[in-house]
Amino acid sequence: MRHAKHTFKIGRTGSHRRALIANLLKSLIIHGRVETTLAKAKELRRHADHMVTLGKEASLHARRQVTAKLGIRYNTLTRKEQKQAKEGNTKAYNADRKVLPILFDELAKKYQDRQGGYTRIIRIGARVGDAAEMALIEYI
């Protein structure tokens, strides 16, 4: 029996699913909203709400959990890139470095008094090519 065994498979391997969710989460955190299929949006909501909950904790353990979940890799910078970064040019960094400050500083403070339900899903109709149900997921 498969009681209480929630899985989100959608025809992908486990590593592909984890990468898909991580990339969608990073885009959602950076941009505030993402347009995707309804099935992906419903699964993404679970993970996005959990990320905000971890952001509200603001502990080292929570930061490491978020880093692991999002698959954030800190690339080493060359001397030229280090010099640019010290001068304030953040283009030297990869985009993953922007996620943690947004989550732990902006989103955590925004939802400090809220006890859950940080995201909203808006259905936007069927996709033209394959008639897949599309949705817009965003932070409230």
Determine the length of the chain: 140
Q: Does residue 48 form part of some domain? A: yes
What pLDDT shows up at residue 80? 81
Mean pLDDT by 10 residues, the chain (140 residues): 82 91 94 94 94 92 93 78 78 75 91 91 94 94
Q: Does residue 2 form part of some domain? A: no
Taking CA 38 as the corner, what is the angle to CA 2 and CA 72, rounded to the nearest 5 degrees?
A: 85
SS3 1: coil
Q: What is the pTM of this model?
A: 0.81
Q: Does residue 84 form part of some domain? A: yes
Q: Does residue 31 form part of some domain? A: yes
Burial (0-12, 13-18, 19+ Cβ within 10 Å), 9: exposed
Total of domains in the chain: 1
* Residue 91 contacts residue 83 (beta carbons within 8 Å): no
The contacts found for 113-116 with CB under 8 angstroms, 24 or more apart, are 116/49, 116/53
Q: Does residue 5 form part of some domain? A: no
